[in-house]
Structure 1
Amino acid sequence: MDIFILTIMLIIIVIVLAYKAIKILRPYEKTVVERFGKYQRTVESGLIFIIPFIESIRKVDLREQVVDVPPQEVITKDNTIVVVDCVIFYEVTDPFNAVYNVVNFYQAITKLAQTNLRNIIGDLELDQTLTSREMISSHLRKVLDEATDKWRTRVVRVEIQRIEPPKDIVDAMSKQMKAERMTRAAILEAEGYKESEIKRAEGDKQAAILESEGRAKAIKKVADAQKYEEISIAEGQAKATIDVYEAIHAGILPMIY
């Protein structure tokens, strides 16, 4: 009986030691192995073996990860308070530095992002802030990437989710946009009316010209007809005179004195 219990205990000890000694790392993971709390080595993904109770591991995920920076109030250059938040996408490039050079990466990069957002937007006026999201994102990504370089992490991109001015300014901007739309509509309507009047005037002018040309042609035709009639009469009279003259010379008609 004692041998059976001892065997069971040995099996359990072996299983525990195997569980502690054998680790599996996924393709997107690396691990830092420590021996008595001191860095020993960095291990790639796959099946790894460590010395139970002597060595320990600290896994590092190498996939692209997301940090959602909480909203914060920021003052612009023209002393307007806006609420800004952003999302940071990053990836670890060196597990050793990511583990040993920063205590809480998530908190550290969040504070860095908030601080630098205040600095960047503080140099911009409200109108610039609202229309320069891409510039703010690009600038913030560059600053964060440089600041986190000692942790061997790469900031892939930064997306500004929201830039929200105070409600009274939003209402004023809405009214301004509405007024601008109404002004543009009035201008378009006036231009349309002007264009319509111009076309109508040009049409009336063309019609008057065509009418005048038609009248001129009609008068010309009448004048040509009258002229032709007069010429025909004159030619007839001339021919009659010539015939009379020839008849007199021929002795057909007596001369009249």
Structure 2
Amino acid sequence: MAFLGFLVPLIILVAVFAGMAFKIVKQYEQGLIERFGEYKRTTGPGLQFVMPFVEKIKRVDMREIVVDVPPQEVITKDNVVVTVDAVVYYQAVDPKSLIYNVQNFVLAATKLAQTNLRNVIGDLALDDALTSRDIINTTLRDILDQATDIWGTKVVRVEIQRIDPPADVTQAMHRQMKAERDRRAIVTEAEGEKSSQILKAEGFKAARILEAQG
């Protein structure tokens, strides 16, 4: 009985120690081991030993990180105010840099993307901004990728979600597009009528020739 009284607490103590000493790092993570608050080593996925009370582990998700760039007003090169937002896809490549070189990655990445999005759109006229999304995406991706290299991340891609001009500008553009469609319809109709008249004239001419020969 006395032995059981000793064994049960020992088992509990061992279980508690094991829970504190062994940590699981998931397949898509890497772990940073700190000893007394200082970085010591990086571990891969699996069961990792951490010295209780001395070491602790920080896990870093190595999958893509999606950062929403909230809507903001941007002035184009031709002084039109547009509302722009985007999504940026990052991926950690150096977990140590991601943890120790930037305090709040998502916040810092969002502000950086907002600033550079304003700069890129600001260098374009409205028409160019509306028709050059792929170019904007690529340009912004390259800028952000270089700027965030020190944070241990790479920019996988950037997707502009919308570029919305003011309502009055949008209405004017729609009117212009409608006028252009109407103009093309008139030109097409006129060309069709002209072709029809030519065919009729050629048919009449051929008939007269046949009649004269007959």
TM-score (norm 1): 0.80
Q: CA deviation at 1:16?
A: 1.6
What is the SS of the residue equivalent to 2:102? coil
Residue 168 (structure 1) aligns with: 168
Tell me the distance in 2 between the aligned counterparts of 1:70 and 1:4: 62
Tell me the distance in 2 between the aligned counterparts of 1:26 and 1:178: 57
Tell me the distance in 2 between the aligned counterparts of 1:15 and 1:128: 65
Residue 39 (structure 2) aligns with: 39
Residue 113 (structure 1) aligns with: 113
Tell me the distance in 2 between the aligned counterparts of 1:5 and 1:112: 61
1:90 aligned to 2:95?
A: no
Q: Which amino acid aligns with 2:46?
A: G
- Gap runs ≥5 in structure 2: none
Residue 149 (structure 1) aligns with: 149
What is the SS of the residue equivalent to 1:86? strand
Q: Which amino acid aligns with 1:92?
A: A
Tell me the distance in 2 between the aligned counterparts of 1:145 and 1:66: 14
What is the SS of the residue equivalent to 1:103? coil
Residue 126 (structure 1) aligns with: 126
Q: Which amino acid aligns with 2:118?
A: R
Equivalent residues in 2 for 1:1-257, closer than 5 Å: 7-214=7-214
Identity of aligned pairs, percent?
58
What is the SS of the residue equivalent to 2:213? helix
What is the SS of the residue equivalent to 1:150? helix
The 1:2/1:102 distance shift into structure 2, 3 A limit, reads: farther
Q: CA RMSD in A?
A: 1.4
Q: CA deviation at 1:4?
A: 5.5
Q: CA deviation at 1:27?
A: 1.8
Q: CA deviation at 1:13?
A: 2.5
TM-score (norm 2): 0.96
Q: CA deviation at 1:63?
A: 1.1
What is the SS of the residue equivalent to 2:27? coil
Q: Which amino acid aligns with 1:84?
A: V
What is the SS of the residue equivalent to 2:31? strand
Q: Which amino acid aligns with 1:55?
A: E
Q: CA deviation at 1:3?
A: 6.9
Q: CA deviation at 1:10?
A: 3.2
What is the SS of the residue equivalent to 2:159? strand
- Gap runs ≥5 in structure 1: 215-257
What is the SS of the residue equivalent to 1:91? strand
Q: Which amino acid aligns with 1:39?
A: Y
Higher relative contact order (CA 8 A, sep 6+): 2
User: Structure 1 or 2: larger helix share?
Assistant: 1
What is the total number of aligned residue pairs between the two structures?
Answer: 214
What is the SS of the residue equivalent to 1:136? helix
* Cα-to-partner distance string for 1:154-193 (whole Å, 9 max, x where unaligned): 1011111111111111111111111111111111011000
Tell me the distance in 1 between the aligned counterparts of 2:126 and 2:193: 38
Q: Which amino acid aligns with 1:163?
A: I
Q: Which amino acid aligns with 1:173?
A: M
Residue 239 (structure 1) aligns with: none
Task: Kindly name which structure, 1 or 2, has the bigger radius of gyration based on alpha carbons.
Answer: 1
Tell me the distance in 2 between the aligned counterparts of 1:53 and 1:13: 15
Q: CA deviation at 1:149?
A: 0.5
* Cα-to-partner distance string for 1:108-135 (whole Å, 9 max, x where unaligned): 1110110001111111110011011011
